Amino acid sequence: MNKKGLTILMRARMRPSDPSKILLSPLADKVNRVAPDKQANQSGGSGMEPASENGNEQTNFSCRNRRPFELVKESMHSAISMNKTEVLDDVLNDFTEGYFSLSTESRKALLLSLAKEYDLNRAQVRELIKQYLGLELPKADPAEEGNVAEESSLSAFYRIERNLRHALKPAYEVLFERLNTHPGGLKFLSILRADILSILAEENIPSLRALDSYLKEKLGTWLSPATLELHQITWDYPASLLEKIVAYEAVHPISNLLDLKRRLGVGRRCFGYLHPAIPGEPLIFIEVALLKTVAQTIQEVLWDDPPILEHEATCALFYSISSTQPGLAGINLGKFLIKRVITLVKREMPQISTFATLSPIPGYMQWLLSKLASQLKLAETDDATHTSSDQSGSSFWENILEPEEERALLNLSEEYKAMTNGMEVMFNLLTTKDYAWTNSPEMLSVLKPPLMRLCARYLLQEKKRGKALDSVANFHLQNGAMVERINWMADRSEKGQHQSAGIMVNYVYRLENIEEYAQSYFSTGQIHSSDDILQYVKGVEA
């Protein structure tokens, strides 16, 4: 093993093996580098460096790294209010370093203070609105050239409108703007927002949600495509960057160095967006396989087949896209990344005619099991036994199985004949330990028709606020893709079984239709799909 490989392997082993843990602990990396852990605080060490033998130095180090809440809050106030640019960098350093020394509860208190105490002045806004409404509109057309008198009469409108625009900006905008131009500030802001999102996931606090909305808008502006650099990431890149690819791969974990080298080698591409203010760390990256046809299983993409000669490829398959920054959630960097990668690959390899994905369906099993559980609960509480043709019971009752699917499930074995309906059998099978049903050819044969049909229904018809319920589906559809095909047992991993019973979906980006499909989905929620997919839901009202 070469030196680079050893470095990547050692660093990757020091990180959490489960990428979800990285997402749940966005501060972990920064905290480990800046702030001492609880035990280190008690002993006087930083948790990263050996404790000093000198007792006074040890105490001083501990004090410097355990900044009290009030001191951090004071540095935050100074960072917002001060006008002395010559010391502003020092103040911002004090604030960011102090922030990481705070406990989770103290960080929450500080963010609440920022959201409430540095919000906009609503009394001032109300007063300006009153003044504005009290002005009398000019009778003449203000656009008429040479009408100096009318232009002059509008000066009061212009003045109040300017003051109103200024008053509608919260004071914390100053902090965000200053941090954005401060070394390391953009990365800090993404971590700050990750903390805000973590709090909001537990508790809906209106002032904090307003703070998040404002910061998200700012980050979206600062991370526009014009500021991002597209890189093709290869094995020749620094080990520190490749280690981040290993650590943040969220769809199909990279198992070892051979796996990583394969994903960066012949017949494969990896592209990432980097920002000059966050060097050496891709904000988002996408992995591409060059193939002859659109793959139906992730096994054939990752391991089963050796890569083809690149000049024989006619399909670029996007099989993984991962974000490295939880604080950038909701900022659609992937939209711009996919379109730029398509342009780049097409320019490099004109023979590529198909751009598709092999995507997970992360919400399918959660939706299906919830649907089955609710229907079984209704069946228990209703007096009558319902069938697919029985309309006398609860209006919420729905047998989601076709009659032939129901019969096949009830006839599986003697132990299931005692159950009242096929949905009960299906629920019990899908919730068995270690997904035992996947090892039985008979059960696979019986479950395939309903699982595939209901998966098509989930992707095409189940909506949230008029858009696809599944998060990955919504992402690709809003970027202009269409639903092409669903694939049985495409991901046999534990994660794949847990998320979608092993089913994966191909979305296709047709270059001539991308903008049209994106616009129709955005405006009306229309989901474009192939005839093969529509066959699964034919006759079912959307």
Active site residues: 359, 476
Helix (H, G, I), strand (E, B) or coil at 54: coil
Rg over CA atoms, the chain: 28
**Tokens 């404002």 belong to which residue?**
214
Amino acid present at 162: R
509-513-515 Cα angle (round to 5) = 95
User: How does 213-224 read in b/e, with b if 16+ C-beta sit within 10 Å?
Assistant: ebbbebbeebbe
Number of helices followed by number of strands (H, E) in the chain: 27, 9
490-492-497 Cα angle (round to 5) = 100
299-300-304 Cα angle (round to 5) = 90
Do residues 503 and 490 touch, judged by C-beta distance below 8 A? yes
Amino acid present at 443: M
Return the HEC string of 388-432.
CCCCCCCCCCCCCCCHHHHHHHHCCCHHHHCCCCHHHHHHHHHCC
Return the HEC string of 268-291.
EEEEEEEECCECCCCCEEEEEEEE
